């Protein structure tokens, strides 16, 4: 089939652009809030790290959808692939509903546990409560994105995330600083902009699901099928488990940094944002490789799937060594893009090393 001939680079480059845009969603908030207040950066950074931990949980079904759909397509069974995708969409949204309720009820407790400073506590909690309501939209967009990639359409996801970023940046500019007749809302404006942009991405996702795959909105016409969801979870749970452990470790580190002070928290957020373009290269080629390996496994071409993965690892390893070195040697200039605070820049250079 046509998908079997797709090369890693042709799949991975739109995924990389998509991940860059996804990363920029947080970076845009950080960059604009840095011009507004370093305290607001720390407040939003605390909230984003907690929300990020919960979003990783949604990766369980998303990761499983990508692999299971790829395997069905590799075996030439598109009907089963679409049924599995619809099951993943439904399941992910149900999980997101539970997570959103938990964050609304226990967000304050989480910030207490990670030692969030009193000066930013209420600001962090407000941002979390607004943005966490959009987890339902994130759930559908993520799971559908994995499905689009499995069907060999990564550019669709790239277009959705690019449009989401345009909406987010525009609304950030208007609502953080209060341009024209818009009120100056600071971090609250960033929260509203993020929620609005994710709502827009959700609407676009529904449109492209119907346009390219003829999949109707799951809540109008769909009965979830247990056998597909079991398959998705068997693959998704161990796959997303590694990401969850990493994200959880970052929340623990944030708890330690909060005891040091908001300056340390702000520095860590700047450094994390700068290193993300390097990290997501590996994620992009991994996701591209995941789709190709899924096709190969579905076609029972196991030997080729194995050697393809080894080549992908070597490519990612070499790139990350060179890119991270470049970032470190230019760290002073890069950090100055976010702030002119010399203490933050000096601390950030040490952290980047």
Whether 298 has a pLDDT exceeding 90, the answer reads no
**What is the mean predicted confidence (pLDDT) over 168-179?**
92
The pLDDT of residue 293 is 84
Long-range contacts of 107-110 (CB under 8 A, 24+ apart): 107/50, 107/132, 110/50
Q: SS3 for 151?
A: coil
84, 69 contact by CB (below 8 A): yes
pLDDT computed for residue 221 by the predictor: 53
Q: Would you state the pLDDT for residue 240?
A: 72
The structure's pTM equals 0.77
**Mean pLDDT score, 222-246:** 76
Neighbours of 207 (CB within 10 A): 12
Give residue 222's pLDDT: 55
| Segment 24-40, tens digit of pLDDT | 777 777 778 888 887 88
Nearest to 65 by CA among 6, 2, 119, 145: 145
Read off the pLDDT of residues 319-348 as tens digits, 9 standing for 90 and up: 889 988 999 999 999 999 888 888 889 999
**pLDDT of 81-120, one tens digit each?**
988 888 888 888 989 999 999 999 999 999 999 998 888 9
- Give the span between the Cα atoms of 107 and 346, in whole angstroms: 32
Distance of CA 274 to the CA centre of its chain: 16
Range in 94-98, 152-156, 294-298 with the lowest mean pLDDT: 294-298
The pLDDT mean for the chain works out to 86
The pLDDT of residue 163 is above 50:
yes
Contact call for residues 216 and 222 (beta carbons, < 8 A): yes
Residue 1's pLDDT is what?
41
């Amino acid at each position: 089939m046509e998908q079997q001939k797709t090369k890693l680079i042709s799949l991975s480059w739109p995924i990389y652009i998509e991940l860059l845009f996804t990363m920029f969603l947080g970076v845009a908030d950080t960059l604009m809030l840095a011009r507004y207040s370093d305290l607001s950066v720390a407040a939003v950074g605390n909230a984003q790290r907690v929300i990020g931990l919960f979003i990783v949980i949604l990766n369980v079904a998303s990761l499983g959808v990508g692999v299971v759909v790829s395997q069905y397509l590799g075996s030439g069974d598109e009907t089963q692939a679409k049924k599995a995708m619809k099951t993943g969409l439904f399941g992910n949204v149900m999980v997101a509903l539970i997570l959103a309720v938990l964050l609304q009820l226990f967000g304050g407790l989480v910030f207490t546990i990670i030692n969030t400073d009193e000066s930013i506590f209420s600001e962090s909690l407000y941002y979390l409560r607004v943005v966490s309501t959009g987890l339902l939209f994130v759930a559908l967009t993520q799971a559908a994105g994995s499905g689009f990639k499995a069907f060999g359409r990564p550019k669709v996801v790239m277009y959705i995330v690019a449009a989401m970023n345009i909406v987010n940046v525009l609304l950030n500019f208007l609502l953080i600083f209060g341009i024209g007749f818009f009120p100056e809302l600071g971090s609250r404006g960033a929260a509203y902009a993020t929620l609005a942009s994710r709502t827009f991405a959700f609407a676009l996702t529904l449109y492209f699901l119907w346009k390219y795959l003829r999949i109707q909105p799951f809540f109008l016409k769909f009965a979830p099928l247990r056998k597909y969801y079991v398959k998705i979870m068997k693959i998704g749970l161990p796959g997303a488990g590694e990401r969850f452990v990493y994200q959880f470790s970052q929340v623990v580190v944030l708890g330690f940094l909060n005891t040091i002070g908001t300056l340390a928290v702000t520095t860590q957020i700047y450094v994390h944002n700068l290193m993300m373009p390097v990290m997501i290269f590996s994620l992009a080629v991994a996701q591209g490789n995941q789709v190709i390996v899924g096709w190969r496994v579905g076609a029972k071409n196991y030997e080729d799937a194995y050697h393809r993965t080894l080549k992908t690892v070597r490519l990612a390893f070499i790139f990350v060594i060179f890119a991270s070195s470049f970032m470190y040697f230019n760290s002073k200039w890069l950090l100055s893009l976010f702030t002119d605070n010399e203490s933050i820049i000096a601390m950030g250079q040490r952290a980047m090393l």
